[in-house]
């Protein structure tokens, strides 16, 4: 007998919605405010590693509910110590609006003031300043954000350094933080191809209702799909504690990626090709996006993914080996440890969906899989005991792509490879590099309508 599972409420109890739909009301809110033009966060070489506009978008549209803005100093300190907001709901990362000392001096704002934030030269959002403080040691902030082998021995294996993209983001922050709530006052428009995958939480839940989906499992991705990913989605949807999930959602993270990842356009259209190619039944498959500059934080990133997808309305989330990871900083099964047992040193003596003020989304932890040349299929240890095992290696596949070699059908769908080739031709290279990051940060994923203030 299957257990009935109903869609969880948003994290914190309600969806945050801080988007003004009426342009006249937006103009009124912004009138007379000092102006700040949003700039990307850059590393020591001047290469973009983050753009706070994505955090503002995801906050105001409810992806990060119950977060409503740039965090106060006490909230940042509590997150670093307990991974909880001041209202007790769990949350993994500090999210702040940071500016340089020079820009702060020019703005001349203090607590109680309102700042108009411009994006691509147009009014975009307002920030109601509640507190101004400084990050005294950004390297210490970066270490505390991700953990250390000494403080978090259960899962942290190596000290974080400048080779880790997420650590670099926090190390590269500006010293002055303006804390307070955001409000989008001039709603941006997604540009192609991202526009057709834009399903903020409210719209996403409405889409589930339209499709009749009560249970939905999410596949987190920053990659174009190979057959291993496809197999993972198809099998994870049979969750074991209910009937097969009605829907399989792909939620692609759109934003700055590390060198060697695929371009965002290839990622979303690659997953769309699985849908339009009928490799997964389109009636139970939905490709969506979320704006976020990856932190590659393995168990902590998985917690954020749980927050995002619960807010979108998912009932389940699949987690595999080395979830959202880079390098060997974390134990490769750190995410599954967090959702199976908890990680006490991060403030979780029990799984994150079993603690007070925790998540309600359910984990589906997936075992490692491979292609078995004897079985002629993708296999797990539970159903295959052959010694010949050919693992799906992202770096190996990227190596084939870089050499212009069409991967065999047991690795890549031809429709997906064509998408990779399409964007390779468009940009002149198949993978993320500094040139791509600089160009994308100039163009972004949105256009902002002209607004006279």
Read off the pLDDT of residues 364-390 as tens digits, 9 standing for 90 and up.
Answer: 887 666 667 776 666 665 567 776 766
Percent of the chain with pLDDT over 90: 81
Residue whose entry in the numeric block shows the structure tokens 């699949």 = 318
Is residue 304 within 8 A of residue 255, CB to CB? The reply is no
Q: What CATH number is attached to the domain comprising 353?
A: 3.40.50.620
**DSSP β-ladder status, 446-447 and 189-190:** antiparallel
| pLDDT for residue 160 is more than 70 | yes
Q: Report yes or no on 119 lying in a domain.
A: yes
| pLDDT for residue 275 is more than 90 | yes
CA–CA distance from 109 to each of 37, 53, 74, 119 (Å)? 15, 20, 20, 19
Q: Place 241 in a pLDDT band, splitting at 50, 70 and 90.
A: low
Last residue of a domain, one of 127, 158, 187: 187
CA–CA distance from 246 to each of 214, 243, 266, 374 (Å)? 7, 8, 27, 32
Last residue of a domain, one of 134, 168, 187: 187
Same domain, 250 and 310: yes
Residue whose entry in the numeric block shows the structure tokens 């389109």 = 282
Range of the domain at 296: 194-365+413-441
Same domain, 93 and 213: no
**Upstream peptide bond of 227 is cis (omega within 30 degrees of 0):** no
pLDDT value at residue 378: 66
Same domain, 182 and 214: no
Same domain, 180 and 304: no
Same domain, 317 and 427: yes
Sign of CA dihedral 280, 285, 291, 292: negative
pLDDT value at residue 1: 44
Residues 6+ apart with CB under 8 A from 256: 48, 49, 50, 51, 165, 293, 294, 437, 440, 441
pLDDT, tens digit (0-9, with 9 covering 90-100), for 118-158: 999 999 999 999 999 999 999 999 999 999 999 999 999 99
Average pLDDT value for the chain: 92
Q: Place 40 in a pLDDT band, splitting at 50, 70 and 90.
A: very high
pLDDT value at residue 370: 61
Q: Report yes or no on 9 lying in a domain.
A: no
Same domain, 198 and 149: no
Q: Which of 46-50, 221-225, 340-344, 406-410 has the lowest mean pLDDT?
A: 406-410
Cβ count near 162 (within 10 Å): 13
**Of 158, 197, 205, nearest in space to 334 by CA:** 158
For helices 414-427 and 264-276, what crossing angle results, to 10°?
150
pLDDT value at residue 229: 84
| pLDDT for residue 100 is more than 90 | yes
| pLDDT for residue 255 is more than 90 | yes
Is residue 74 within 8 A of residue 213, CB to CB? The reply is no
Same domain, 305 and 327: yes
pLDDT value at residue 391: 67
How many structural domains are present in the chain?
Answer: 2
pLDDT, tens digit (0-9, with 9 covering 90-100), for 201-217: 999 999 999 999 999 99
Same domain, 181 and 249: no
Cβ count near 151 (within 10 Å): 11
pLDDT, tens digit (0-9, with 9 covering 90-100), for 311-326: 999 999 999 888 999 9
**DSSP β-ladder status, 362-365 and 316-319:** parallel
Residue 378: strand pairing partners: 371
Q: What CATH number is attached to the domain comprising 84?
A: 3.10.400.10
Q: What is the pTM of this model?
A: 0.94
If DSSP states are collapsed to H, E and C, what string results for the chain? CCCCCCCCCCCCCCCCCCECCCHHHHHHHHCCCCEEECCEEECCCCCEEEEHHHHHHHHHCCCCCCCCEECCHHHHHHHHHHCECCCCCECCCCCCEEECHHHHHHHCCCCCCEEEEEECCEEEEEEEEEEEEECCCHHHHHHHHHCCCCCCCCCECCCCCCCCHHHHHHHCCCCEEEEEEEEECCCCEECCCHHHHCCCHHHHHHHHHHHCCCCEEEEEECCCCCHHHHHHHHHHCCCCCCCCCCEEEEEEEECCCCCCCCCHHHHHHHHHHHHHCCCCCHHHEEEEEEECCCCCCCHHHHHHHHHHHHHHCCCEEEECCCCCCCCCCECCCHHHHHHHCCCHHHCCCCCCCCCCCCCCCEEEECCCCEEECCCCEEECCCCCCCCCCECCCHHHHHHHHHCCCCCCCCCCCHHHHHHHHHHHHHHCCCCCCHHHHHHHHHHCCEECCCCCC
Same domain, 225 and 360: yes
The CB-side HSE value for 262 (13 A sphere, CA atoms) comes to 30
CA 243 to chain centre: 28
Last residue of a domain, one of 187, 220, 243: 187
Angle value at C-alpha 165, between 103 and 421, nearest 5 degrees: 110
Same domain, 256 and 324: yes
pLDDT value at residue 307: 98
Same domain, 148 and 132: yes
CA–CA distance from 350 to each of 13, 85, 316, 338 (Å)? 21, 18, 18, 8
Same domain, 346 and 217: yes
Q: What is the mean pLDDT of residues 58-71?
A: 98
Percent of the chain with pLDDT over 70: 90
pLDDT value at residue 386: 73
**Of 85, 120, 96, 78, nearest in space to 12 by CA:** 85
Q: What is the mean pLDDT of residues 183-198?
A: 98
pLDDT value at residue 231: 81
pLDDT value at residue 240: 54
Q: Per the structure block, which two tokens stand in for 266?
A: 């290839």
């Amino acid at each position: 007998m299957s257990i009935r599972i109903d869609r969880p409420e948003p994290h914190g109890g309600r969806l945050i919605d801080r988007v003004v739909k009426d342009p006249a009301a937006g103009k009124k809110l912004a009138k007379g405010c000092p102006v700040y033009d949003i700039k990307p966060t850059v590393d020591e070489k001047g290469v973009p590693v983050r753009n706070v506009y994505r955090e503002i978008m995801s906050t105001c549209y409810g992806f990060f509910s119950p977060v409503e803005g740039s965090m106060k100093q006490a909230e940042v300190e509590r997150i670093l110590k307990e991974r909880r907001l001041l209202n007790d709901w769990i949350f993994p990362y500090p999210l702040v609006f940071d500016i340089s000392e020079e820009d702060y001096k020019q703005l001349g704002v203090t607590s109680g003031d309102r700042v108009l934030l411009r994006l691509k030269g147009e009014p975009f959002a307002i920030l109601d300043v509640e507190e101004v403080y400084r990050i005294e040691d950004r390297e210490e902030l970066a270490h505390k954000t991700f953990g250390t082998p000494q403080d978090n021995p259960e899962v942290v294996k190596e000290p974080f350094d400048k080779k880790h993209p997420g650590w670099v983001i926090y190390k590269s922050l500006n010293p002055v933080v303006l804390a307070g709530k955001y409000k989008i006052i001039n709603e941006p428009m997604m540009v192609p191809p991202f526009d057709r995958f834009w399903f903020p939480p409210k719209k996403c839940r409405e889409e589930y209702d339209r499709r009749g989906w009560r249970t939905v499992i999410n596949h987190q991705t920053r990659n174009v799909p190979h057959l291993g990913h496809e197999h993972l989605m198809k099998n994870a949807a049979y969750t074991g504690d209910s009937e097969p999930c009605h829907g399989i959602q792909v939620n692609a993270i759109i934003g700055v990626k590390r060198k060697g990842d695929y371009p965002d356009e290839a990622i979303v259209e690659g997953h769309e090709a699985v849908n339009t190619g009928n490799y997964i039944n389109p009636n139970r498959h939905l490709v969506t996006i979320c704006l976020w500059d990856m932190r590659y934080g393995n168990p902590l990133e998985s917690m954020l993914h749980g927050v995002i997808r619960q807010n979108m309305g998912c009932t389940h989330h699949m987690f595999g080996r080395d979830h959202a990871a880079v390098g060997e900083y974390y134990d490769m099964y750190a995410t599954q440890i967090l959702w199976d047992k908890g990680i006490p040193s991060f403030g979780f003596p029990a799984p994150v969906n079993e603690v007070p003020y925790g998540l309600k989304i359910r984990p589906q932890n997936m075992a490692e899989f491979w292609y078995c040349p004897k079985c002629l299929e993708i296999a797990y240890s539970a159903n295959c005991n052959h010694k010949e095992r050919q693992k799906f290696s992202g770096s190996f596949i990227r190596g084939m792509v870089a050499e212009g070699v069409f991967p065999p059908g047991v690795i890549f769908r031809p429709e997906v490879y064509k998408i990779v080739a399409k964007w390779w031709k468009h940009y002149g290279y198949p993978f993320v590099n500094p040139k791509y990051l600089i160009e994308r940060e100039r163009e972004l994923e949105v256009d902002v309508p002209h607004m006279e203030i």
